[in-house]
Amino acid sequence: MEDLAAQCQLILLCLPDGVAVRDATEAMAPHLQPGSLVVDHSTTSPQVARNMEALLGQRGVRFLDAPVTGAPARAQKGTLTAMVGGCKQNLEEARPVLETFTSKIVHMGASGNGQLAKAMNNCLYNISCAATAEMLSFAAKAELPLEEFMEVVSSGTGQRVG
């Protein structure tokens, strides 16, 4: 890992959690060249992102938190959405690489805000799933044909906000 860190100007991370991000970043930090850029696509927390930005900043290394959303099917198609926190200039430098696996890149402001947007997006998704389950139960109790009800919901305004 040390040799790779020393040779690369742009490093993308996508790790299972904040502990893994911290461990990998701490291991790479002494070997990264000043001016290089680390972009973290992991789902962690705003505080982890801010801590990594501060740690790397001490060495003159730049950082973006850029978690993605879109589920496995969109990942396979290269159409994920990235929510990016950190310096906009750093985002513009990384954009050509991010565009290879995203169809939408949204700058969310300061470091940590990408993670905050991801957490809120996940919350909305979970609320939607819970509401759908409740509506299916209500529909069944009202003796609506469930397949037909799901057809209506999936093609109408019930499927999304806006």
Catalytic residues: 118
DSSP codes, the chain: -HHHHHH-SEEEE--SSHHHHHHHHHHHGGGSPTT-EEEE-S---HHHHHHHHHHHHTTT-EEEE--EESHHHHHHHT-EEEEEES-HHHHHHHHHHHTTTEEEEEEEESTTHHHHHHHHHHHHHHHHHHHHHHHHHHHHHTT--HHHHHHHHHHSGGG---
Return all residues near 4 (Cβ < 8 A) that are at least 6 apart: 11
Pairing of β 10-13 and β 37-40: parallel
Pairing of β 68-69 and β 80-85: antiparallel
